[in-house]
């Protein structure tokens, strides 16, 4: 998952665009779809579809590169309770703490 983490870090500051899969803008599932493609995983452009392909792991067992899943949202777990995601048009791609309502999943 090192390639997922490296890609996620390299996209910080990019803008949010609904339906975006890069290279200049992303939505949440387009961001994770493109990141996981770097690790050879083909994912749908849908947060629910991506979550359905993974299994839940505890936060204590979370590793960098795991999928962060919330209601209608996905991101990449970076370790130490932090994630990178394409949050919304106001934030774009950001590095931030996990917030309530999220869980970790692994492919």
Query: Could you tell me the residue range of the domain that residue 69 belongs to?
Result: 2-106
CATH label of the domain that carries residue 44: 3.90.1720.10
Q: Write out the catalytic residue numbers.
A: 28, 73, 85
pLDDT in tens, 25-68: 999 999 999 999 999 999 999 999 999 999 999 999 999 999 99
* Cα dihedral sign, 45-51-55-58: positive
- The string of DSSP codes covering the chain is -HHHHHHHHHTTTPEE-TT-BSSSEE-HHHHHHHHHHTTT----S-HHHHHHTSEEE-GGG--TTPEEEETTEEEEEEETTEEEEE--TTT-EEEEE--TT-EEEE-
Q: Quote the number of domains for the chain.
A: 1
What is the model's pTM? 0.96
pLDDT in tens, 57-76: 999 999 999 999 999 999 99
């Amino acid at each position: 998952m090192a390639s997922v983490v490296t890609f996620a870090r390299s996209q910080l500051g990019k803008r949010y665009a609904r339906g975006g899969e890069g290279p200049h803008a992303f939505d949440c599932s387009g961001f994770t779809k493109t990141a996981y493609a770097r690790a050879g995983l083909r994912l749908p452009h849908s947060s629910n579809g991506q979550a359905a392909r993974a299994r839940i792991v505890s936060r204590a067992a979370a590793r960098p590169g795991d999928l962060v899943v919330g209601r209608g949202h996905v991101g990449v777990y970076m370790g130490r309770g932090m994630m990178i995601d394409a949050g919304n048009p106001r934030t774009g791609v950001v590095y931030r703490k996990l917030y309530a309502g999220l869980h970790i999943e692994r492919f």
